[in-house]
Amino acid sequence: MQTIESMQKREKDNRIFLASLQGVDIRDEQENKGPTFEDLRLRALGINATTDDVVSLQGQIAAEQGFGIGMGLGYSEE
């Protein structure tokens, strides 16, 4: 088991080195894997948007952020 882990670490270090020779820093990309908690929360609520999209301001999320009907964004029937 130890041998496999050391081989994987050596391969990873080798990839980082080769990428750095080309001017690319892949260490940051490896640390930021996957979506954020807020993105997962939006998907669980059925909202297909990222946290930086105005479409994400729906329902409970909008109320928490201070938006929604009667909270600054209203509507009127004509």
pTM for the model: 0.36
Q: In this structure, is the dihedral angle defined by the CA atoms of residues 53, 56, 58 and 60, taken in order, positive or negative?
A: negative
8 Å CB contact between 15 and 6: no
Give me the pLDDT at residue 74, please. 54
| Cα 40 to the center of its chain, rounded Å | 8
Give dist(CA 57, CA 66) in Å, integer.
10
Give me the pLDDT at residue 11, please. 92
Give me the pLDDT at residue 22, please. 86
Give dist(CA 67, CA 58) in Å, integer.
8
Residue type, 55: V
User: Phi and psi of 48, rounded to 5°?
Assistant: -95, 75
Give me the pLDDT at residue 29, please. 57
Per-residue pLDDT of the chain (78 residues; tens, 9 = 90+): 788 888 899 999 998 888 888 887 777 655 556 777 887 887 887 777 776 677 667 777 777 777 766 555 555 666
Give me the pLDDT at residue 24, please. 79
